């Protein structure tokens, strides 16, 4: 009502665009659309676009995206990886000079790690306070692996399991070519009743 749209009256219909998403993210988008209608009276249409068409709209200068739900994953374990996505001039219209300065300074900082972390946290606070983006949820994968499956793709590393995080995790992952059934497979067979 304070914005001049009591109960959403007169507010233009929004289109929430998705990037060729599967059932789970689509359901999340539908839930957001429903919540906006129920709480603010704003009509939101959810559209799941072809990957290329979506990326063309997103990468246009200025971006053609008004409202979107998109997932991001880390390419490497450092705050600069995710916070760098939101620097001015990216695939979004948001811009904040203080944010940019903090992220760039922290990214190049070689001093005390605690001080560097604080710089990134200060930048993150600006990002959240400006409400430029809404960070909706974080997926946590859960996988069960038979004990007789072995291979370099399944070896633990500092970030979990080698084949299941960036870099390298994608539809082009070498997971299947890097896994084999070990010689001790018969040790895991259940005895007949």
pTM for this structure?
0.66
Domain membership of residue 57 (yes or no) is: yes
Q: What is the pLDDT of residues 141-152, one digit of tens each?
A: 666 778 888 887
Tell me which residue of 72, 45, 44, 78 sits closest to 58, measured CA to CA: 72
Domain membership of residue 23 (yes or no) is: yes
Q: What is the pLDDT of residues 46-96, one digit of tens each?
A: 999 999 999 999 888 888 888 888 877 777 778 888 899 899 988 888 899
Position 189 pLDDT exceeds 80: no
Alpha carbon 130 to its chain centroid, in Å, reads 19
Same domain? For 27 and 64 the reply is yes
Same domain? For 91 and 109 the reply is yes
Q: What is the pLDDT of residues 104-132, one digit of tens each?
A: 999 999 999 999 999 999 999 999 999 88
Q: How many structural domains is the chain composed of?
A: 3
For residue 180, what are the domain limits?
A: 149-188
Same domain? For 11 and 67 the reply is yes
Same domain? For 130 and 169 the reply is no
Average pLDDT, the chain: 84
Tell me which residue of 100, 17, 28 sits closest to 64, measured CA to CA: 17
């Amino acid at each position: 009502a304070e914005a001049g749209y009591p109960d959403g009256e007169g507010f233009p219909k929004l289109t929430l665009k998705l990037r060729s998403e599967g059932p789970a993210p689509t359901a999340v988008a539908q839930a957001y659309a429903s919540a906006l209608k129920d709480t603010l009276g704003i009509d939101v249409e959810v559209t799941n676009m072809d990957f290329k068409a979506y990326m063309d709209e997103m990468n246009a200068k200025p971006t053609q995206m008004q409202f979107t739900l998109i997932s991001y994953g880390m390419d490497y374990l450092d705050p600069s990886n995710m916070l760098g996505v939101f620097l001015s001039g990216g695939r979004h219209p948001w811009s904040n000079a203080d944010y940019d300065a903090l992220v760039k300074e922290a990214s190049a900082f070689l001093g005390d790690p605690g001080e560097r972390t604080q710089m990134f946290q200060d930048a993150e606070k600006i990002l959240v306070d400006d409400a430029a983006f809404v960070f909706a949820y974080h997926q946590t994968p859960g996988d069960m692996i038979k004990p007789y499956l072995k291979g370099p793709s399944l070896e633990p590393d500092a970030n979990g399991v080698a084949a299941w995080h960036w870099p390298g995790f994608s539809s082009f992952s070498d997971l299947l070519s890097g896994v084999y059934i070990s010689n001790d497979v018969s040790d895991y067979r259940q005895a007949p009743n």
